[in-house]
Chains A and B, each alone.
Chain A
Amino acid sequence: MSTRAARVGHTSLRLACVRLVQQLLSNGGSLTRLLPEAQARVEPREQAQLQAWCYGFARHSGELAGIVDQLLDKPLKAKDLDVYLLMQLGILQLRHTPISAHAAVDETVKVARQLKKPWARALVNAVLRQYQRRADELEAALSDAQRLSHPQWLLARLQGDWPEHWETICQQNNERAPMTLRVNCRQGTTQDYLQRLRAAGHAAQQVPQLPQAVQLEQPAGVQLLPGFETGAVSVQDAAAQLAAGYLTRHARRDGRLLDACAAPGGKMAHALELGHFAEVLALDHDPQRLQRVADNLSRLKLTGNSRLQAADAAELALWWDGVPYDAVLLDAPCSGTGVIRRHPDIKLLRRESDIQTLVAAQSRLLDSLWRTVAAEGVLLYATCSVLKCENDTQIESFLARTDDAALLDATWQILPGDGGMDGFFYAALGKRSRSTIAMGRSDES
């Protein structure tokens, strides 16, 4: 049953979508940050749709802009960005949603008035109707960057780094990611949890090679997952679950682990669940995000042998007591170009100049943290990037300038979609004691 709800005060779905993307483009924050506010302004039943549209917009923005550009005689003025985005939203509905064409056009045209630009109604209408008539021809004329909806600079880098894979990478970036869970092995076996999921009506499968990973056939809100509140399970991509395996394989049992950039804490929680380390210190520069780590650990009932501290990991003087760590996890700040399928707004927010800054920050973290690694200890370097300058090239230069470092395994670049996983990079760096350095570096690459 329903009652006549007060319909005043709510923003229309399409207006909210245009406003949110406008805010995104003016660097007002990420989708993850902006969406909850925008959702609070639309009617509750439209919240899921607003989210789907905003993610769709970010995913396909290059293509949408490319189509609208062909249909405009001259570019719109900068102050009419909202009208430009409204036209793109119209094309999004026509191309990527099941909404009927006539409702998509009519409802989108109406928003021009809500933007207080009634003059734009005829223009929006003409652009959308032209698209309906000439869709094939307009799509055929798109450039690679537009067709694949990647900024030109990023596309060029991907083409340079991955001459054979760049197109697949871009296509995978535009897919929706699966929802993968990590079963808390302290509370039960993966098999048992699969049973619980099935009893609750969720079809799911174990991920090969990853003992705690379960992939859901259909994504579900976490509140619907059995035992989520009491810590039976967490949401974590399969690629991120590989970190714990590296750490347990290469670090001695009952040693000390440092997680240098810990938030939101999934990888460190996984290591704690496995019970391999006697002591864990988690650092993050952002106290608010560190609070999320604390919340996660308390949900998973893992607070016992861990300590959290807000600090920039590269500033050793601020946090390090001088006692070396058996294992250091450096999940470094990176371009996020491996997780675009989860965060399509990365394509809109990232600038080419960011890459330089990130590469410098990564190498500074590597150099500082290397000092905290014990002899015969391991530093696991991880990024969710697919760019070589942040990954293989970064590690090659580190090895070249660091005498006592050697790769323990070949580095591993996972491309987005490989085995259903996010794009990720791992390099396990072993610290040799002074006496063994003379034996020379292994030639793994």
Chain B
Amino acid sequence: MSLLELAFEHSSEPVVSLLDILYYPDAQLRRNAAVVENVDGTVASLVDQMLETMYAAPGIGLAATQVNVHQRVMVIDVSEENDTPQTFINPEILTAEGEEEMQEGCLSIPGVYETVKRPALIRVAAIDREGNPFEMDADGLLAVCIQHEIDHLNGKLFVDYLSPLKRNRIRKRMEKWIRDGANPDDLPERP
């Protein structure tokens, strides 16, 4: 019956509309993102596309800076099931305490994972996708991820917390990987 089935399928070829992610050491990743003045449909649509891009990557957080949009917008989903997306527009850390080390990776530096020390418990204020302001407390992976993404909006990357020697080695590996065609099957991690 497959031939009849085919004949009936007039639906469009499914498509995925994903944003391109900038790779370290792209200079655009160093820009300071602008405050969002007005949360409108354009911002909501950016949020939707960023979420789709983040899930496809796959990642647990994505800042607008990484897709070359220099506005203070970031999306996060740290759930196992990828069913708890969170949007942070104009995020600000109100308080931070404690200290925790965690291994971090970054969609702009694929394949590289290094341990970074950050405050363990934070309180953050931001605006959600519908334009409503909110405040929340975060710890664990969520706290790390929020701080990691806010760093992006300020032009900062997690490799900036590493020694210059280590950072340089990562930069060289990334440059070679990009020169070779940025093949996602052959990430610049060490064997």
Residues of A within 8 A of B (CB): 1-5, 12-14, 27, 29-30, 32-33, 43-49, 51, 55, 99-100, 102-103, 107, 176-177, 179-180, 196, 199-201, 218-221, 223-224, 226, 235-237, 240, 261, 263-264, 266, 285-286, 289, 331, 333-336, 339, 342-343, 345-346, 349-350, 354, 358, 384, 422
Contact = CB atoms under 8 A, between A and B. Distances in A.
B105 interface: yes
B46 A201 contact: yes
B2 interface: yes
Given A107-B186, A201-B42, A261 B181 contact: no
Interface residues of B, number: 55
Contacts of A336: 6-7, 9
Given A48-B16, A333-B7, A1 B183 contact: no
A349 B10 contact: no
A242 B6 CA distance: 21
B13 A55 contact: yes
B14 interface: yes
Interface in B142-183: 144-145, 148-149, 158, 180-181, 183
Q: Which one of A3, A99, A331, A358 has the greatest number of beta carbons of chain B within 10 Å?
A: A3
Interface in B49-75: 49, 52, 55-62
A45 B110 CA distance: 12
B9 A30 contact: yes
Contacts of B1: 286
Contacts of A236: 10
A264 B11 CA distance: 8
A43 B48 CA distance: 21
Q: Pick the 6 closest A-B CB pairs, nearest first.
A: A100-B181, A219-B15, A1-B61, A199-B41, A2-B105, A48-B16
Contacts, number: 169
B6 A103 contact: no
Nearest to B152: A1
B84 interface: no
Contact of A201 (B4, B14, B45, B52): B45
Contacts of B105: 1-4
A263 B52 CA distance: 29
Contacts of B42: 199-201
Given A3-B60, A4-B105, A103-B180, A179 B12 contact: yes
Q: Which one of B9, B16, B42, B105 has the greatest number of beta carbons of chain A within 10 Å?
A: B9
Contact of A218 (B12, B17, B45, B59): B17
B58 A2 contact: yes
15 contacts: A1-B104, A2-B106, A29-B2, A100-B181, A196-B41, A199-B45, A219-B13, A224-B45, A224-B48, A264-B9, A333-B4, A333-B8, A339-B9, A342-B13, A343-B13
Contacts of A221: 14-17, 52
A33 B11 CA distance: 13
Q: Which one of B15, B148, B158 has the greatest number of beta carbons of chain A within 10 Å?
A: B15
Contacts of A48: 16, 18, 56
Contacts of B18: 48
Contacts of A5: 58
Given A32-B9, A342-B10, A343-B13, 9 more contacts: A1-B148, A2-B110, A12-B185, A30-B2, A44-B55, A48-B16, A48-B18, A200-B44, A339-B9
B100 interface: no
B6 A343 contact: yes
A42 B86 CA distance: 26
